[in-house]
């Protein structure tokens, strides 16, 4: 069975500093990995995904994520945080070997960026 | 594109009443997902359809919940009878050919 873990409930960072939101996953085959962001009272918005190829994936709003197969991780990063990045971030995994499109989401990490 | 459309956006009902949530996926998308989000349990996958056929409903909490997709442009999630513990935000999402999921704005349900 596939699963995804976000070990931190909350991440605090000062504006202008780099940020990292951690994600680890477990699948039986090759994973599709995703990051989404949710602002208050809104649906989830797609940020970026890894399917294959370059381990460093670039996405929206200056975010990027690095796929590390040996550590089964897909951490979200941004070189310089903005106050407007404060939101709830979800990592998600899809096990393509299962043949279906079932996508499992982590519990979410709340990011606070302080001015 | 209008994105995934959900209605109603907010629903307040009394325990025991029937609740129907509606979703219109993005045109051309062939898979549709229903999720429930609560503070305690996070984002849970309830059921998903591929080409209008239910593929995995293992996340549906109990028989009070049912979902249908009569055609490619419409799906419903029904709760009958509703209970206070069903209070949550319900999201619909759609994808095309196993691609990226796009989420609707959600329906905030409160069962009194």
CB neighbour list of residue B41: distance below 8 Å, 6 or more residues apart: none
Which candidate from A42, A104, A108 shows the least CB-CB separation from B45? A104
How close, in Å, is residue A99 to chain B by CA atoms? 10
A57 token code pair: 């994936």
Long-range contacts formed by B38-47: CB under 8 A, 24+ apart: B38/B87, B38/B88, B38/B89, B42/A105, B42/A106, B42/A107, B42/A108, B43/A44, B43/A90, B43/A105, B43/A108, B43/B91, B45/A102, B45/A103, B45/A104, B45/A105, B46/B77, B47/B77
pLDDT interval class at A99 (50, 70, 90):
low
The least confident of A22-31, A71-80, B61-70 is A22-31
What pLDDT, on a 0 to 100 scale, did the predictor assign at position A30? 82
How close, in Å, is residue A56 to chain B by CA atoms? 18
Q: Which chain B residues contact residue A105 at CB under 8 A?
A: 35, 42-43, 45
Task: Please tell me which residue of chain B has the smallest CA distance to A102.
Answer: B48
Does the structure show a pLDDT above 90 at B62?
A: no
What pLDDT, on a 0 to 100 scale, did the predictor assign at position B90? 97
CB A107 to CB B33 under 8 A? no
Q: How far apart are CA A64 and CA A76, in angstroms?
A: 6
pLDDT interval class at B45 (50, 70, 90):
very high
CB B100 to CB A46 under 8 A? yes
Does the structure show a pLDDT above 80 at A79?
A: yes
The least confident of A29-43, B13-27, B62-76 is A29-43
Tell me if chain A has a CB within 8 Å of the CB of B58. no
Q: Which chain B residues contact residue A108 at CB under 8 A?
A: 42-43
Task: Please tell me which residue of chain B has the smallest CA distance to A101.
Answer: B98
Report, as an integer, the average pLDDT of A65-86.
96
Does the structure show a pLDDT above 90 at B99?
A: no
CB A101 to CB B95 under 8 A? yes
Report, as an integer, the average pLDDT of B25-29.
95
Query: B42 or A19, which is more confident?
Result: A19
Which residue has 């989000």 as its token pair? B37
Mean pLDDT of chain A: 92
What pLDDT, on a 0 to 100 scale, did the predictor assign at position B97? 83
Triad B45, A108, A115: Cα angle to 5°: 150
Mean pLDDT of chain B: 94
Q: Which residues of A89-98 are buried (b: 16+ CB within 10 A; e: fewer)?
A: bbbbbbbbee
Q: What would the pLDDT profile of A24-56 be if each residue is shown by its tens digit?
A: 999 888 889 999 999 988 889 999 999 988 899
Which candidate from A49, A100, A108 shows the least CB-CB separation from B42? A108
What pLDDT, on a 0 to 100 scale, did the predictor assign at position B2? 80
CA distances from A39 to A48, A87, A114, B40, B105 (A): 16, 5, 16, 18, 11
B6 token code pair: 């959900």
């Amino acid at each position: 069975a596939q699963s995804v873990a976000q070990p931190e409930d909350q991440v605090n960072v000062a504006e202008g500093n780099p940020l990292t939101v951690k994600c680890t996953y477990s699948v039986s085959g090759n994973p599709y990995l995703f990051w989404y962001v949710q602002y208050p009272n809104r649906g989830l918005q797609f940020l970026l995904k890894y399917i294959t190829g370059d381990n460093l994936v670039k996405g929206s709003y200056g975010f990027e994520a690095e796929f590390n197969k040996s550590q089964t991780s897909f951490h979200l990063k941004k070189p310089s945080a903005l106050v407007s990045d404060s939101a709830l971030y979800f990592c998600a995994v899809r096990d393509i070997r299962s043949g279906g499109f079932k996508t499992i989401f982590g519990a979410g990490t709340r990011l606070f960026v302080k001015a | 594109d209008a994105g995934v459309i959900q209605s109603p956006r907010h629903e307040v009902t009394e325990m025991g009443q029937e609740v129907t949530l509606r979703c219109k996926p993005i045109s051309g998308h062939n898979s549709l997902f229903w999720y429930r989000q609560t503070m305690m349990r996070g984002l849970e996958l309830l059921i998903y359809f591929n080409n209008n056929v239910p593929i995995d409903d293992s996340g549906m909490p109990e028989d009070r919940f049912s979902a249908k997709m009569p055609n490619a442009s419409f799906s419903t999630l029904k709760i009958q009878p509703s209970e206070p513990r069903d209070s949550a935000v319900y999201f619909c999402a759609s994808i095309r050919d196993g691609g990226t999921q796009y989420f609707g704005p959600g329906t905030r349900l409160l069962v009194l």
